[in-house]
Structure 1
Amino acid sequence: MIALPLSRGDLLRALAVVVIWGLNFVVMKVGLQGIGPMLLGALRFAAASLPFLLFVRFPKLPVRYVVAYGLAQGLGQFGFLFLGLSLGMTVGMASVVMQTQAFFTLLLAVPLLGERARAHQWLGLTVALSGLVLIATAHGEGPGQMTLAGFVLTLGAGFMWAVSNIVVRLANRQGDYDPMPFIVWSSVFPILPFVALALWMDGPQTVLAQLIGLRWPALLAVLFLAWLATLLAYTLWTQLLKRHPAGRVTPFSLLVPVVGLWSAWMFFNELPMPQQWLGTGLVLLGLLVNQLGGWWVARRA
């Protein structure tokens, strides 16, 4: 596959995804104020898939890729993330830690896709890992502080996001397909596992009470997560992954924490501790080295 530069349209798609996903964390926190984490996952993917199944054909792909993406991106990524946010992960730090998906994708793409990792990418990974260590050691149990359990679960969510990126790249080798049906139909498969987990973790009575007591902030959060963060943003993201190598697309997540940290401050008055700011800076620096290191090397050559 010839690596073509990103067009203006692709850059606009990437920026739209950045804004939606940056605000995404605040919306999740709002939804979790009235809904359990597993029920929120079930409602999100039900709203993203069930209303459209009669109008959207199954994608021209083997079923295994659709199922694998749905379980990795839906159940894996958002199961871990919703649970982490409900167990004390702060909104701003979640937006930072989730971007480890860029480095997990790099680590997985080398053996699974045969993509070559260059020296600047390994350097970026090392810098970002040092930042994650600082963030992880700045946890606490007080109000507004990031818990260690929340951090670990969010790190797991970043890994599952990377797994879903690899599934997209493998699916792309099967031939051309439309990303929108891929996202709609893959969103079907996390629903029943999420429902089963909600019943197991919260109990049938609690789940029923949450559904009956659903209020408009939680409902709007579900619709935002389903239609904008899932259908629109992931369709755009999948289009980018289809057209360009994973190592070129995923570092655009560098900008997501900027929006995430700003929105966390605006809506929840969250201000990271000094150690977390330093760790965040190192994570972003690592992503920057990953993204721009190749350009710098090429200019020197």
Structure 2
Amino acid sequence: MIGIGESFALTSAFAWGVAVILFRLSGQQLGPFSLNLFKNVLLLVLLVPTIVFAHGSHWPAIELEHWLILLLSGAVGIGLADTLFFRALNALGPSRTAIGSMLLSPFVILLSFVFLGERLSAWQWLGAAVTLAGVTLVNWRRAHPLEQVADKRGLIALVAAMALMATGIVMAKPMLESDPFVWAVQIRVIGGVASMVLLMLVQGRLLAVTEEFRRARAWPRTVAASFMGTYVAMLLWLAGYKYADASIAAVLNETSAVFVLILAALFLKERLRAHQWLGSIVAAAGVLIVVAN
């Protein structure tokens, strides 16, 4: 019988699939940095009443070391990783980005093996390898040299985003298990927002970001995407890591690619080639191998 952690991970995958489609539409009016900053600030605000509801209004008994690790985890896994993810989303489109995001699970499996002592069976390692094969198949295509340049930049951004996201979540997993859950999530978000604000001030981008917000028009879509992708999906995503092994949760999250493929075809009218559908099936088969074993 599927456990509560696995259920959270799968539900998160669907919520994230919906959010990716909305973020793709929002990304056409806001750049990657501005979009990431907005959704993180919104999450920061939404988590305040959630903390009061879940844990009460008293200050949490969280060790200073845990605060520092969670803040760093947020700076790496939210501030930097999510900005790179949105850059890849704009360059590659939702379907290819979603499949490419399956690289997250191998990174999490490797880091969990090294730092958390988690171990997978031979069948689960095989499933991870099959998932990677599916990712490679989906992202392979012949393209014009100019498109190849854009693809390479998008893929580099995506691989970097997945590596940093995995690093952030593996850093935070012990705290997600031991400390008040929503507080731990909020501290990560504080780290992500603080790192972005600091970077924006150092680079002198405050006026440029403000102008992007001023010119933006489709705010209901942006708010909906941010709510679904950061509040709903992230809470479910982190709950999956809290109640299940990081390696298993990471692989289950990859089913979001299947949801994105379907939603992109339905709402964005994207036409996927045969090798992309085949790659998604191969990747999904890899996920099933991991879960079944």
Q: TM-score range by the shorter chain?
A: 0.7 to 0.9
Which one of the candidate residues 114, 119, 122 is aligned to 1:116? Answer: 119
Which one of the candidate residues 12, 17, 25 is aligned to 2:20? Answer: 25
Going from structure 1 to structure 2, the CA distance change for 1:221 and 1:74 (only over 3 Å counts) comes to same
Provide the rounded CA distance (Å) in 1 between the counterparts of 2:37 and 2:25.
Answer: 16
Going from structure 1 to structure 2, the CA distance change for 1:228 and 1:178 (only over 3 Å counts) comes to farther
Give the count of matched residue pairs.
282
1:148 has 2:152 as partner: yes
2:75 aligned residue: 71
Provide the rounded CA distance (Å) in 1 between the counterparts of 2:207 and 2:169.
Answer: 37
Structure 2: 5+ residue runs without aligned partners? 53-58
Provide the rounded CA distance (Å) in 1 between the counterparts of 2:116 and 2:287.
Answer: 21
Deviation of residue 210 (structure 1)?
1.4
Instruction: Please say if residues 5 and 249 of structure 2, whose CA atoms lie closer than 8 Å, have aligned partners that are also in contact.
Output: no
Alpha-carbon deviations, 1:1-37, whole Å to 9, x = none?
Answer: xxxx644x55553343122111121111122111111
TM-score (norm: length of structure 2) = 0.83
Which one of the candidate residues 102, 106, 121 is aligned to 2:105? Answer: 102
2:281 aligned residue: 281
1:37 has 2:38 as partner: no
Deviation of residue 221 (structure 1)?
1.8
Going from structure 1 to structure 2, the CA distance change for 1:59 and 1:273 (only over 3 Å counts) comes to farther
Deviation of residue 51 (structure 1)?
5.8
Provide the rounded CA distance (Å) in 2 between the counterparts of 1:116 and 1:182.
Answer: 25
2:129 aligned residue: 126
Provide the rounded CA distance (Å) in 1 between the counterparts of 2:290 and 2:176.
Answer: 23
Alignment of 1:205-224 (within 5 A): 205-215=207-217, 217-224=218-225
- Give the letter for the 1:186 counterpart: R
Which one of the candidate residues 86, 89, 93 is aligned to 1:90? Answer: 93
Moved more, 36-45 or 269-278: 269-278
TM-score (norm: length of structure 1) = 0.81
Alpha-carbon deviations, 1:112-148, whole Å to 9, x = none?
Answer: 11111221122122222323333343263689xx823
Going from structure 1 to structure 2, the CA distance change for 1:6 and 1:126 (only over 3 Å counts) comes to closer
SS in 1 for 2:41: helix
Going from structure 1 to structure 2, the CA distance change for 1:109 and 1:38 (only over 3 Å counts) comes to same
Instruction: Please say if residues 135 and 279 of structure 2, whose CA atoms lie closer than 8 Å, have aligned partners that are also in contact.
Output: yes
**Which structure has greater helix proportion?**
2
2:55 aligned residue: none
Going from structure 1 to structure 2, the CA distance change for 1:115 and 1:230 (only over 3 Å counts) comes to same
Q: Root-mean-square deviation (CA), in Å?
A: 2.9
Provide the rounded CA distance (Å) in 1 between the counterparts of 2:32 and 2:254.
Answer: 26
Provide the rounded CA distance (Å) in 2 between the counterparts of 1:219 and 1:198.
Answer: 25
SS in 2 for 1:190: helix
Alignment of 1:242-281 (within 5 A): 242-281=242-281
Q: What percentage of residue pairs aligned between the two structures are identical?
A: 19
1:299 aligned residue: none
Going from structure 1 to structure 2, the CA distance change for 1:214 and 1:252 (only over 3 Å counts) comes to same
Deviation of residue 181 (structure 1)?
1.8
Going from structure 1 to structure 2, the CA distance change for 1:287 and 1:196 (only over 3 Å counts) comes to same
Going from structure 1 to structure 2, the CA distance change for 1:60 and 1:220 (only over 3 Å counts) comes to farther
Deviation of residue 107 (structure 1)?
1.1
1:232 aligned residue: 232
Provide the rounded CA distance (Å) in 2 between the counterparts of 1:116 and 1:13.
Answer: 21
1:167 aligned residue: 171
SS in 2 for 1:92: helix
Deviation of residue 53 (structure 1)?
4.8
SS in 2 for 1:247: helix
Structure 1: 5+ residue runs without aligned partners? 295-301
Instruction: Please say if residues 32 and 86 of structure 2, whose CA atoms lie closer than 8 Å, have aligned partners that are also in contact.
Output: yes
Alpha-carbon deviations, 1:182-230, whole Å to 9, x = none?
Answer: 2223212222433455678895553232122232x245424532x3322
Going from structure 1 to structure 2, the CA distance change for 1:191 and 1:223 (only over 3 Å counts) comes to farther
Deviation of residue 52 (structure 1)?
4.9
SS in 2 for 1:35: coil
